[in-house]
Amino acid sequence: MNFLVIEGNIGAGKTTLAKKISCDYNARFVGEQFADNPFLEKFYDNPKSYAFTLEMSFMAERYSQFTNELQNFNLFSDFVVADYYFMKSLIFASVTLSDDEYNLYRKFFDIIYARLPRPDLYVYLHKNSNNLKANIDKRGRSYEKNIKTEYLEEVGNAYFRYFKQQSEFPILIIDTNNVDFVEKEEDYHKLCHIILNTKYESGITRIIC
């Protein structure tokens, strides 16, 4: 495996797991750069006014990061593990944008996406909205304070709509509602075994931990 993606809804723990895997398995970590986005807090305060600007800025940043990171692959790393995939741009845009905005956005997206590599395995960490909200509140980011469970549910539904349409690469959906891979080493090693020690075919595979 050369390119592993760990994805999930907001608060699913994707960055934490991707970083742990990168450290323990000699992988190069590619993390989404979102904290410095000047439109993120404005979007959460006023979604309708800033949705298109936010999604366009994220798409540009993700494309730039992916092309730079994957072209400059470190030969001393065994593989690349990222805490997001470029398709995330389209998934969130389908939730936040109006139909006209989304149609315009999709034209730019399709041009860019055609140039990017596909992951060898795409892992989606599934948690219900209440558990996601609890994790979001626990980490205490100021710009996330207004996120509602309804929004998390919309984003989750958008991910699953995308999964049903995708057959280019393997998608592994892991239900982690009863898993604590941060505090429990046995849970972490179980996830690693599921992700790294099994060959998955293109399409969807679902696992409950």
Is 141 part of any domain? Answer: yes
User: What pLDDT sits at residue 37?
Assistant: 81
The pLDDT of residue 73: 57
pLDDT digits (tens, 9 = 90+) for 22-77: 999 999 899 987 767 888 889 988 988 999 999 999 999 999 888 887 766 554 56
Q: Which of 24, 83, 110, 175 is catalytic?
A: 83
Q: What is the pLDDT of residue 71?
A: 67
CATH code, 104: 3.40.50.300
* Contact partners, residue 138, CB within 8 Å, separation at least 6: none
**Could you tell me which residues come within 8 angstroms of residue 15 by beta carbon, excluding any fewer than 6 positions away?**
31, 32, 83
Side-chain-side CA neighbours of 39 within 13 Å: the count stands at 14
Q: Rounded to whole angstroms, what are the CA distances from 114 to 69, 78, 165?
A: 17, 25, 16
Contacts of 98 (CB under 8 A, 6+ apart): none
Confirm whether pTM is higher than 0.85.
Answer: yes
Say if residue 111 is exposed, middle or buried (CB neighbours under 10 Å; 0-12, 13-18, 19+): exposed
**Model confidence pLDDT, tens digit, residues 64-123:** 888 887 766 554 567 899 999 999 999 999 999 999 999 999 999 999 999 888 999 999
On whether residue 165 sits in a domain, the answer given is yes
Domain that holds residue 191: 7-208
155-203 pLDDT per residue, tens: 999 999 999 998 899 999 999 999 999 999 999 999 999 999 999 999 9
Whether 45 sits among the annotated catalytic residues: the reply is no
Domain count of the fold of the chain: 1
